[in-house]
Structure 1
Amino acid sequence: MAKTTIDTALLYATLDAARQERGLSWRGLAKEIGVSPSLLSRLGNGLKPDTDGFATLVAWLKLPAEEFFSAQGDQRQLAEAGQPDLMAQLAPLLRARKDLNETDIKYLEQVIGATIARARAQG
């Protein structure tokens, strides 16, 4: 049976990208998020956050918690489970952006759709 865990490396990398974008130290990022610096340090060392810490981090990132879930277990079960359609995942994210107008969104959907089709044709 497949087991779902938190992908700490992905969560840490996502936080690091946000930290760099804001020009903050890890301590400054922890203060902005409202968590202890030790929580971020533990993540950097591959340790899992507590439930409240995880919820605070993903809420601050404004990303769904599922983005940081990783399934482990029988590879056959994982392959059969499949993945959601990439465009189905991206469309709500694009439409939620306040800095994109409808024309921008349609353009990005076309570009991403063409890229996906090309990747599938080559794969």
Structure 2
Amino acid sequence: MRSILNALITFAVFWVSSNYFSEHVHIDSTKTMILATCFMVVISYLFTWLFVISLLAISVGVGCVTSVILFIIGLVLTPVKLWLLSAYLPGFEVSGFWTYVILSVILNVFKIRSRTKQKDGDKS
């Protein structure tokens, strides 16, 4: 359910940025917007699985190096995903470094994350 909501939020951010900030973000059609949203979700899943495999590899001594690298890459992954979409998806264009940064911040701020479980003693 959380994935579907995140995909809808991504779609909404793309739609708003395309309609209201068309000089910075240009998306040709709704089909391109749906494809861009799907690619963002797929790339996020792939990165999540890479990170899980990396954490599991710590037990054999390999994951220590790759986990740190993947964590650092995770901080800059959203702008990279946007750049890949802009470079390889026809009809999806983002112009300017600051547009990538602002879109990344907006996408990460509105992303729905899982809640941590409360301990029995915590009622707050």
What range is the shorter-chain TM-score in?
under 0.3
When the two structures are superposed, what TM-score results if normalisation uses the length of structure 1? 0.27
Higher normalized contact order (CA 8 Å, seq sep 6+, divided by chain length) = 2
